[in-house]
Amino acid sequence: MYRVLLLAVLLGGCASMMGTQAPSAAQPPFEAITFEIKSWGRPIDSWAVRADGSAEHVKMVDEDPSTFREYTLEHRVFTVLPADYAKLSAMAAALPEPRLSRDDCDERATDLPYGTLRLTRGEQEEAIAFDVGCLDARYQAFVGQLRAMDAAVTEWAAKTAAVKSEPIAE
Q: Along the 170 residues of the chain, how does pLDDT read in single tens digits? A: 333 333 333 334 433 333 333 334 446 589 999 999 999 888 999 999 999 999 999 999 987 777 777 889 999 999 999 999 999 999 999 999 889 888 888 998 988 999 999 999 999 999 999 999 999 999 999 999 999 999 999 999 999 999 999 998 87
Query: Please, which residues bridge with residue 119 across strands?
Result: 33, 126
What CATH number was assigned to the domain covering residues 32-169? Answer: 3.30.1560
Measure the CA–CA gap between 77 and 71, rounded to whole angstroms. 20
Measure the CA–CA gap between 85 and 88, rounded to whole angstroms. 5
Note the pLDDT of residue 143: 94
Note the pLDDT of residue 3: 38
- Contact assessment for residue 50 and residue 32, using Cβ atoms and an 8 Å cutoff: yes
Note the pLDDT of residue 14: 38
- Contact assessment for residue 76 and residue 161, using Cβ atoms and an 8 Å cutoff: yes
Note the pLDDT of residue 10: 34
Measure the CA–CA gap between 123 and 144, rounded to whole angstroms. 28
Instruction: Give the number of other CB atoms < 10 A from CB of residue 97.
Output: 8
Residues 6+ apart with CB under 8 A from 14: none
Measure the CA–CA gap between 85 and 50, rounded to whole angstroms. 8
Note the pLDDT of residue 131: 94
The structural domains of the chain, with segments of one domain joined by +, span: 32-169
The pTM (predicted TM-score) of the whole model is: 0.80
